Structure formats: C-alpha cells, structure tokens
Amino acid sequence: MKKFIAAMSVSALAVTAAYAGVTEEDLANDQASTDQVVTNGMGRHLQRYSPLETLNKDNVKNLVPAWAFSLGGEKQRGQETQPLVYDGVMYITGSYSRLYAIDVNTGEELWQYDARLPEGILPCCDVINRGAAIYGDNIYFGTLDARIVALDLKTGDVVWRDKIADYKAGYSYTAAPLIVDGLVVTGNSGGEFGIVGEVQARNAETGEIVWTRPMIEGHMGTLNGQESTMTGTLNATWPGDLWKTGGGATWLGGSYDIDTDTLIFGAGNPAPWNSWLRGAGEPTEGNVGDNLYAASRVGIDPKTGDIKWHFQTTPREGWDYDGVNEVVAYTDRGGNKRYATADRNGYFYVLNREDGAFVSAAPFVKDITWANGIDETGRPIFNEPNRPGNPANATDGNKGEVVFSSPSFLGGKNWMPMAFSQKTGNFYVPSNEWGMDIWNEPVTYKKGAAYLGSGFTIKPNYEDHIGSLKAIDPDTGKWVWEYKNDAPLWGGVMTTAGGLVFFGTPEGKFIALDDATGEELWSFQTGSGIVGQPITWEMEGEQYVSVVSGWGGAVPLWGGEVAKKVNYLNQGGTVWTFKLPKQLASN
C-alpha cells in the first residue's frame, strides 16, 4: 500500500498525460452509465436516481455486505462524502481532507492522500469533506485550508494544487467540485467569518483560473485574468460598506443543467446574522435591505461566469436560513422543465429552468414561524414579530428581544441532499422538525473571527421525532408520506428504478424504503451514525450499494439541546458496500 502526502513533488508524467480517461460525455451520461458513478449527485443535475432495477422491493431483503473499508487512524469525525466508482476503483474523501482509492472488488486500499493542513484552519461545521470529481486521468477535491488539489487517478501523485482563498480570513472548502466542459468549478466556505462567497472556474488540466464570480453585489468578477462584470449594483440592497464582508458563501457546491447550459449555485447567509445591521430589520421600499445575492440561487454562464438569473429565497434574512440548498433539474409529469430546491427556511420551491422564475412553493416542515407563506412572486410574507429583536433597543444594549423561530438555523433541510425519482415523479426530502430561541447582539467585523451578532439555542419541536424523510409531490407540494426518526437526519438520499429509497440515520441504520408507501423494507446497522451519501452501480451482472458511515457534522457542534439528545452516538469511519447476489436476485 502506498501513501502520499501534500509535500510530494508534482508528477511530470501526470501533468503531460493525455486526457484519455473520463470525458465530458461520460459526465453528461453518468446517470445512464450504470457500471460507474463519476459525478457527485449521480448526475450533474443532482437527481440521485439510478435506472437500475435488479435490486427491487421484492428482493432487497437479500441485500448483503460485500466488504467494508475503515478510514482508520484517529481522524474520524463526520464522514459526509459520496463515493465515486470508475475503472474498478472506488474513490472517497474523508474528514481532515483525505482521499482514498479502494479496489472495488475487494475493498483493499490502493493509495491514500492526506493533505498537510496548517495550524489555524477555521472550519465552521466540522472537519468534513463531501466528495471529489473525476475528469480525464485526474481526481479533484478541496481541502479545509481552502485549496483545490488535482491528483493522478492511478497513483495519487499531485498533478497541481491551487489556493481558493485565504484560510486565515475564515475561508475553507468542503464541497465536491463540479466539472463542466473541462473546467473545475468550485465554491467556498466561511460565511460565519464575514468572507465573500464566490464561484471559481479553473482549467482542469493546468489549474489556471478562467473566471471568478462573487456572490455579493458590488464585487467584480473576472474572466481570463481581467475584470469582467460587477455582481449586481453597488449599494442597491446593501447599506454602506457592509457588502465588503457580506457573506453569501457557496459552501455546498453547485449543479449543472445541460439543457440550458447553466451552472446553479446557492449563496449562503448574509453576514452578519444580525439583520438590523444590514438594513434588513425594518420593512423597506423596494428591495433595499434584501442583501443580494445572499440567501439566493444563482444561474451562471459556465463559459464566462456571468450571472444569467437569480432567485432569492429569504430576502432580509435574519435567521441564518442561508440559501445554498442544492438545485435539482428535472422534468415534471406535464413535461415542463423545472428546478426544485428545498430551502433551509422550510419551503420547497419549484422554479422555471429557462430563467429561474418562481413557479410555486409549499412548506415541507410542520411548523414555520418566521413567515406566513410565500406570495405569488415567490417572496415570503414575513411574520415581523418573529424577527430577532434589535439590540440597539435593548436596555443594556447587549441583547435584543429573544424569539422562538422555527425551523432552527440548521434548517428544515440543511446540506443533506434530497433525491428525485423518475419512476414516481416525487422528491424524497430529508428534513428536521426543530426550532430555536434566537436573539441579536452587537458585533463588528474582525478578520478571521466569528461574525454573527446572534445567539441561539436549538430545541426539538416534537418529543417523538426530529428527523423526517418526506416524499413530496412537486406538482402540488403535498406530502405523499413521511418517515419519522428520533434523531436528526443529516445524510443524503438515493432513489432507484427498483422502487427503493435509500438513506441512513445518526443511530447507524442504513435503510431502504418503499418509494410509494414509505414502508421500511430492509435495514443494516453500520455501527456509527450515517451522514454520508449512498450510491449504487452494477458490476458483473450484480447490483451494488455503498454508503460511508461516520457520525459528526454540524449537529454535535451547534445543536444545543438537540446535541445533548444525540451525544451518546459513536464516531466512526467505514465504507460499507453491499450487493445482491445473482442467485438471490429473483427471490
């Protein structure tokens, strides 16, 4: 077994190797190519749907472990990655910015890369990594010190690495990169430190930056090393100089809609959380205080980085409802091309794929207090008394009025990806039923320091469950069924043409449900909480399913009273791979 670390020299052979491996065509056809998984989301539209139906409702009871692989060492914590499978090898990322190549037949390690992380990194929400990207003969992933690294697929040698941003200012990187037409497209993390969200595109072969697109108005984009266009209009929706440290981190990465040739990235919370400081506390004329493009979905031209459209889910955001939740391209039952996104604010949105225009919205959690609904334009109908109070009005000047808001700032749905079934036409959305006491405090920006201006305590809304996996009809917004779970759900979901919905729980169960009814058909105890993202593929006529088990993520760190409820859960770090043996496929 070989191990490689960041100090290794660049391999000249890897730099000059022809891109004969994974092609743009392979990426575009990933969902249909059932013998491999070469994109995050099992397709760049992020549907997380497999057309495989060898494994189905009748025989899933015969699914058995094939092999397990331990990430080893003391570097455990949350394991939120999605495996990739290509040319007989599985690639997974691990906590603390590690990447493994594993023989997909045996589970044996082929090589491992450990990034040499500096002292003083400032990850917001655990030391996780959500996956890699493959293109040509290279594999790409980001590190907690806000770098992007290209490695040789066969050897793990460094081909190139580049700096995304300054980790000392609070930047980090945890998402899986996105590959489109030979460009490696990345976002950034660090919204709680007053950074500025940005999308960057690099030449996949050389690492050279092609374009950049900031997410906060007033900042200038670049194209081929020159200034291109400004994001928005300076001071249109931001007061004074607050746009300079305005947040809007693109920390979850993006999706790609090949039909419209559009990248879609979510921009996170505006900074600071205290909305009164951003001119968003009081009702205003027009869009003053909306703080664009934070808490928004943004359509971007992949060739130039120019903004094509935007949709802001929570203007005047004051609860850290963010806006990065993944945007999934799909076609509805009427043949209409749509986008769907389940926002942390508790509403499930449907948008038009041509221009991002609002189509509909409906709640996907039971209790929403901050808004009384969504109007016909897609703008929330604010419940103003539920906005955390202005600390400037406090008698001691230190703490504004405390309010109970639902959902909590960790969201009706956080990072954990939902799935769309082409078989049922429904979305399967991992959600959580929780709220929070929240208040605002005075705050000033300091480089590398937390920039919140708020305090909070998360509380469960119900005694019998927090987690709730819901099947949602996107045409009506209605819930088809609900699967309740005691602990919060924090991992991804996958659907298959065999009528199955796969997901994991913090209690360690990996579960398959009936996609039509929500009935539990199969489960396996993995030994640690699952916050990873499952995949499935076919090899030598047998269907395989894999998921990474390892409890962690934001809940133990930020969860308040909820964190106390799950503090007994064990950490871990194991790739579990299951298969349906041929002789049991017809049983």
Secondary structure class of 380 (helix, strand, coil)? strand
Q: Is the Cβ–Cβ distance between 404 and 437 less than 8 Å?
A: yes
Q: DSSP state, 392?
A: G
Q: Which of 246, 110, 123 is nearest to 190 (CA)?
A: 123
**Dihedral sign for Cα atoms in the order 354, 355, 360, 364:** positive
Strands (E), 304-346: 307-312, 328-331, 337-342
Q: Which of 367, 380, 377, 388 is nearest to 320 (CA)?
A: 388
Q: DSSP state, 172?
A: B
Q: What is the DSSP annotation of 289-315? A: T--TTTTEEEEE-TTT--EEEEEESST
Q: Which two tokens stand for residue 10?
A: 């660049």
Q: Could you tell me how many helices (H) and strands (E) the chain has, helices first?
A: 4, 41
Q: Which of 73, 144, 55 is nearest to 574 (CA)?
A: 73
Q: Which of 159, 160, 163 is nearest to 144 (CA)?
A: 163
Enumerate the active-site residues. Answer: 320
Residue 32 and residue 176: Cα distance in Å, rounded? Answer: 21
Residue 174 and residue 40: Cα distance in Å, rounded? Answer: 13
Residue 191 and residue 530: Cα distance in Å, rounded? Answer: 25
Q: Which residue has the tokens 């004051």?
A: 318
Q: Which two tokens stand for residue 333?
A: 């039952």
Residue 272 and residue 442: Cα distance in Å, rounded? Answer: 10
What kind and span of H or E run contains 405? strand 403-405
What kind and span of H or E run contains 414? none
User: In 3-state terms, the chain is what percent helix, strand and coil (to 5)?
Assistant: 10, 35, 55
The 3-class secondary structure across 187-251, one letter per residue, is CCECHHHCCECEEEEEECCCCCEEEEEECCCCCEEEECCEEEEECCCCCCCCCCCHHHHCECCCC
Residue 400 and residue 338: Cα distance in Å, rounded? Answer: 41
* Residues placed in the known binding site: 80, 130, 174, 192, 269, 320, 414-415
Residue 145 and residue 387: Cα distance in Å, rounded? Answer: 34
Secondary structure class of 118 (helix, strand, coil)? coil
Q: Which two tokens stand for residue 418?
A: 């939902």
Q: Which of 409, 455, 408 is nearest to 433 (CA)?
A: 408
* Residues placed in the known binding site for pyrroloquinoline quinone: 80, 130, 174, 414-415
Residue 531 and residue 177: Cα distance in Å, rounded? Answer: 19
Q: Is the Cβ–Cβ distance between 172 and 145 less than 8 Å?
A: yes
Tell me the β-bridge partners of 172.
189
* Residues placed in the known binding site for Ca(2+): 192, 269, 320
Q: Which residue has the tokens 């070989």?
A: 2
Secondary structure class of 26 (helix, strand, coil)? helix
